[in-house]
Amino acid sequence: MLNYVFSLTKFLAVMMIVFVTLIGYFVSFTPGFNWTDVLHLIVGVGLSSAGALALNQYYERDLDALMERTIKRVLPSQKLKPRTVWLFGMILMNAGYIYLWYYLNGLCSLATILCGMIYLYLYTPLKTRSTLSTFFGSIPGALLPIMGWLAKYDSISDYSKIFITHHLIIVLLALMLFLWQIPHALIITIRYKNDYMNAGMKQLPIVMGDKTAYRHIFFNIILMAFVMVIPYLSTYIKEVEYVYVSTFIHGMLLLMFVFYLKKKTSASLIIFYRSLLFYLPLILCLLLLYVFKSVDYFK
């Protein structure tokens, strides 16, 4: 029973969500941090994201029953009752929102609520209605670093100061997360295209074809590379080595995509998919490292 409940939370996905949120906290350009606040952020975001992921399985239970990749989940396989999953998800998600509001601040909690609402009540229903679901589905991920960023400040004067002086870095980080999620979602759709078609999904590769999806993936990788160089061009990061390493990472990602386009095999698709997954923590850690070097962060 407990392992079925635990599977609803998608532990690895929750860990990635928490990680990206923490990156937003640490790139705030305000030296120093509070370990207690970091712990509160981990708990609050962990609870709310686990609850949202559980609720997603509740709302998509009928679609999951139509796809081979999801038919063994707890609801399609009838290991748990839908009402139990709904109640579990609601309790976790709202506990996370309340926790963030009480222990951190209202704006962090509100941003987290917005993230969950867009994910559950805009992106999820759009998957069977419009190709725009891919783009709307990228918004919650873009909000993650903003949630972490807002967690560090607890007064109106703090917010006004950071919006005037150090807002660019978090905007760029959110934009990069938005851009990354599009090729990530598209390549998953291409991989499980038959499953998604059987379930009546309307994602871009299904409606407009793989070639259109490939163009989006290519241009998004190029845009990601450009976005991640801007911190250096705007003098937020002072070391030119950052540009070299960032360009190399994006070049390798583009190379993996070209390799997939040439081979068009399941193996090459998986290689590119895993490259995308590996790219995200790698580029975020690179950015964080050079932010730490550019600011006396731990003073």
Q: What domains sit in the chain, N to C, each tagged with a CATH number?
A: 2-294 (1.10.600)
**What is the token pair recorded at 65?**
């029953």
Tell me the mean pLDDT per 10 residues along the chain, length 299.
83 96 84 83 98 96 91 91 95 98 94 97 94 94 95 62 63 95 96 92 93 96 95 83 96 97 95 97 93 67
Per-residue confidence (pLDDT) for residue 164, from 0 to 100: 46
Q: Identify which of 192, 186, 171, 199 has the alpha carbon closest to the alpha carbon of residue 135.
A: 186
Q: What is d(CA 125, CA 217) in angstroms, rounded to the nearest whole number?
A: 23
**Rounded Cα–Cα distance for residues 230 and 218 (Å):** 19
What is the dihedral angle through the alpha carbons of 63, 192, 73, 201, rounded to the nearest 10 degrees? Answer: -10
